[in-house]
Amino acid sequence: MEVFTSWRTWDDAAADLAALPVDLPELRRAATAAQRWHGDQRRPTGVPYTEHLLEALEVLVRGAGVTDPAVLAAVLLHDTVEDTGATVPEVEAEFGPEVAELVDWVTKPPAAGPGRQAKRAATSAYLRRLRDAPRAAVLVKLADRMSNVQRLDQMPPDFQRRYYAETVTYILPLAADEPWFAQWYAAWRGHFAHLR
């Protein structure tokens, strides 16, 4: 199972991206905006939040071979509305309606009420809704989840089992129509089969 963790900073990513057919200035703009919005946020593992965004970008570019500028900008911005004070209209004002729509598709709405059950219900509804998402939004979600699950073993055991089951139930069906992602997730599922 290949792991995508070599782009830890924008400079790491830019060095590789410079040789590829991508819109490097636009990606730099998206990375800068993501850094501005996410600020000093950290992932549960303690790493800067932007590392997750760059991992998802690396998945799309180095793994799946995606070069579409809107998809690549959206993957860098995919958590801004969900996890920062940014809004979809602000994303649209800076990056246009296509990127904003993709970010909107992959933004999990807040839970309808307090408690763990309400949060899990909101997550399930959101993941089911992605079955109707445009292909570009699915690519963003597949890359986002890959970044989250490629090192699942670094998370607490109870989280590992729940997240594994959620990924198998909702994300693997989304990956089925994308050959590269389907292959990667099949290898991932085998690697973490002990979590079944």
Q: What is the pLDDT of residue 44?
A: 80
In a domain, 45, yes or no: yes
Q: What CATH number did the domain enclosing 123 receive?
A: 1.10.3210.10
pLDDT at 86: 96
The predicted pLDDT at position 116 comes to: 84
5: in domain: no
Low-confidence ranges of the chain (pLDDT < 50): none
The answer to whether residue 92 is domain-embedded is: yes
Structural domain tally of the chain?
Answer: 1
Catalytic residues: 82-83
The pLDDT of residue 115 is 84
Per-residue model confidence (pLDDT) at position 190: 95
Contact indicator for 180, 64 with CB cutoff of 8 Å:
yes
For residue 4, being part of any structural domain is answered with no
Residue 45: per-residue pLDDT: 80
Domain assignment of residue 2, yes or no: no
Inside any domain, residue 1: no
- Give the structural domain span for 99: 10-195
